[in-house]
Chains A and B, each alone.
Chain A
Amino acid sequence: MKKWICIICGYIYDEAVGMPDHGIAAGTRFESLPDDWTCPECGSPKESFEPYVG
């Protein structure tokens, strides 16, 4: 399971946690998120995310 960071706002998407409040189950890979998915914090597109090691 990896983490991804939005380089615009710093929001971290943790695959292990998902986003249950938004209907994205724990364990959902970043690659499996819809292409039109946007950062829940700043609305930036999926391309704004990069793998995060922290």
Chain B
Amino acid sequence: MNTSTATEGRVEIDGRIFNPYSKDFIRSPWATWEKMVLEYPVAWHKDLNMWVVSSHDACAEMLKNNVFTPNYKAWEHAPPEKPEAEKNDFERSLDHGLFATRTQDHLRLRKLAMPAFSKPVMGKIDAKIRDLVTGVFDEIGEPEQFDAFSMIAEKLPVRAIARMVGVPTNKEAFFQEFAVSVIKSTRINLPAKERQAAMQTSLTGFAYFRDLIAQRRAAAHPGDDFVGSLISASEGDDRLGDYDIMAMIQAVIVAGSDTATDLHTYAIQGLLSNPEQYRLLRQRPELMENAIIELLRVGAFGKMPQYRFASEDAEFRGQHIRKGQSILLNLTAAWVDPQKWERPRQLDITRRLDGNLVFGAGAHFCIGTYLVRVQGGLMISELMKRFPNAELVNGNGDVEYDYNHHNARRINRLLVKSNARQHVHPAQERIIHDATVETNH
């Protein structure tokens, strides 16, 4: 038996049921996720030493329950709290971050910061990063085939976020290192030494942004870009402090750079694996926003998506979760939960996605959601424009994975056959579109 019911009635699993580090799982997680969702929606993982919550309903409930906090400091194995005077920039920013603040402070931060993250402001980002997208495709040119990971996914997110937060493009490598080190600093699946090293690496980045904020504050006008909007944000006499702003910049970097790398590869993989959907999106570009969410849902690239920590002892769906214990919110499994979604693995860009958890739910809903949509939408539009007849090489893009990635089922090779010189006659495209619509209904 791989599962046992402990004396206290705890449902337990181990690495034989769910091993997020195994190559088989990274290549094909579907059967594992289905088993988790249907048979072990809430279970204690004896090897990972944490709870794993997998079904759509259980994840949605936990996301909206404030007893389960994303605050890493609530973890029973978190490093001891330092005196304030001994804290570095990373630790102070963490204290001011959206994951760490109490409910009222969290609402205050969201309220102050929201104008900078809202859909209309993010829409303006479109104009600021459009040339970066076309530049990336110019670099590709019109080869017979290209690698979507190295030519698009690895380049575009970091350049876009760097542009957004005011980092010169010649500092891309520095910025990329900062982004990854910030993420790794609190990944509880990594050894403490690795987290500590990542935190130290991140400090030069924090110093850079502290200086940038100081320069903007000293200027006659802080600017109307993202950083300027955060500096100007006010509610009555209330304003964001330097560490509030650094925490927000950090949040954007986490949401928009390393994670967005996977958005691009999986979006391309999803569309080119489903040519009828790729065609449909070309015909109906108004479906773009829905398509991006659906591509993220079906791609489900997270390996160990998100964590929560019990801020007090709690009963959750018949299981007793002790204060300080960690919980893996297995959101990618929830995204393909057959109890929530019909034909969950099938990409359908017209699907009604009400209640989806692709960007989370509740108080900690992904603050960078519109940024991701803008960036993804621009990339896909350009791909469709330049390579309307693209296909995956050998049907699967000769896909390769980075099995050691800290967080994602990272694809690090996806070969695309450009078919750049093929053209589909508009009348033929129309016939294909009509046939697709008929099939879907």
Q: What 0/1 readout, one digit per residue, does chain A (37-50) give for beta carbons within 8 Å of chain B?
A: 00011111000001
Q: What 0/1 readout, one digit per residue, does chain B (356-371) give for beta carbons within 8 Å of chain A?
A: 0001111101110110
Choose from B354, B359, B363 the contact partner of A40 (Cβ within 8 Å): B354
Contact yes or no, B110 A42, CB < 8 A: no
CB neighbours (8 Å) of B122 from chain A are 10
Tell me, yes or no, whether A7 is within 8 Å of chain B by CB.
yes
A41 CA to B289 CA, complexed, in Å: 12
Tell me, yes or no, whether B35 is within 8 Å of chain A by CB.
no
CB distance from A47 to the nearest CB of B (A): 10
CB distance from B124 to the nearest CB of A (A): 11
Given contacts A7-B111, A10-B119, contact A43 B370 (CB under 8 A): no
Those of A5-42 within 8 Å (CB) of chain B: 5, 7-12, 22, 40-42
A41 CA to B360 CA, complexed, in Å: 10
Tell me, yes or no, whether B120 is within 8 Å of chain A by CB.
yes
CB distance from B60 to the nearest CB of A (A): 7
Choose from B60, B110, B354, B355 the contact partner of A8 (Cβ within 8 Å): B110
On chain A, the number of residues with a Cβ less than 8 Å from chain B's Cβ atoms is 15
Q: What 0/1 readout, one digit per residue, does chain B (334-373) give for beta carbons within 8 Å of chain A?
A: 0000000000000000000011000111110111011000
Those of B95-144 within 8 Å (CB) of chain A: 107, 110-111, 114, 117-120, 122
A12 CA to B355 CA, complexed, in Å: 17
Choose from B64, B114, B117 the contact partner of A43 (Cβ within 8 Å): B64
CB neighbours (8 Å) of A54 from chain B are 118, 120
A5 CA to B114 CA, complexed, in Å: 9
Contact yes or no, A10 B118, CB < 8 A: yes
On chain B, the number of residues with a Cβ less than 8 Å from chain A's Cβ atoms is 23
CB neighbours (8 Å) of B363 from chain A are 8, 44
A12 CA to B354 CA, complexed, in Å: 16
A10 CA to B360 CA, complexed, in Å: 14
Contact yes or no, A9 B107, CB < 8 A: no
A54 CA to B229 CA, complexed, in Å: 14
CB distance from B329 to the nearest CB of A (A): 15
Given contacts A40-B354, A42-B360, A43-B64, contact A8 B119 (CB under 8 A): no
Contact yes or no, A9 B369, CB < 8 A: yes
Given contacts A40-B354, A54-B120, contact A10 B369 (CB under 8 A): yes
Choose from B64, B110, B370 the contact partner of A7 (Cβ within 8 Å): B110
Give A9's nearest chain B residue, CB to CB. B365
Given contacts A12-B119, A43-B60, A43-B361, contact A50 B111 (CB under 8 A): yes
CB neighbours (8 Å) of A43 from chain B are 60, 64, 355, 361-362, 365
A1 CA to B119 CA, complexed, in Å: 19
Contact yes or no, B361 A10, CB < 8 A: no
CB neighbours (8 Å) of B111 from chain A are 7, 50
CB neighbours (8 Å) of B117 from chain A are 10
A10 CA to B368 CA, complexed, in Å: 10
Give B116's nearest chain A residue, CB to CB. A10
CB neighbours (8 Å) of B119 from chain A are 10-12
CB distance from B370 to the nearest CB of A (A): 6
A44 CA to B361 CA, complexed, in Å: 7
CB neighbours (8 Å) of A8 from chain B are 110, 362-363, 365
Q: What 0/1 readout, one digit per residue, does chain B (74-110) give for beta carbons within 8 Å of chain A?
A: 0000000000000000000000000000000001001
CB neighbours (8 Å) of A7 from chain B are 107, 110-111, 114
A12 CA to B360 CA, complexed, in Å: 18
User: CB within 8 Å of A: which residues of B?
Assistant: 60, 64, 107, 110-111, 114, 117-120, 122, 354-355, 359-363, 365-367, 369-370
The 5 closest A-B pairs by CB, nearest first: A42-B365, A10-B118, A43-B361, A9-B365, A7-B111
- 20 further contact pairs, Cβ within 8 A, besides A7-B107, A9-B369, A42-B362: A7-B110, A7-B111, A8-B110, A8-B362, A8-B365, A9-B367, A10-B117, A10-B118, A10-B369, A10-B370, A12-B119, A40-B354, A41-B359, A41-B365, A41-B369, A42-B360, A42-B361, A43-B60, A43-B64, A54-B118
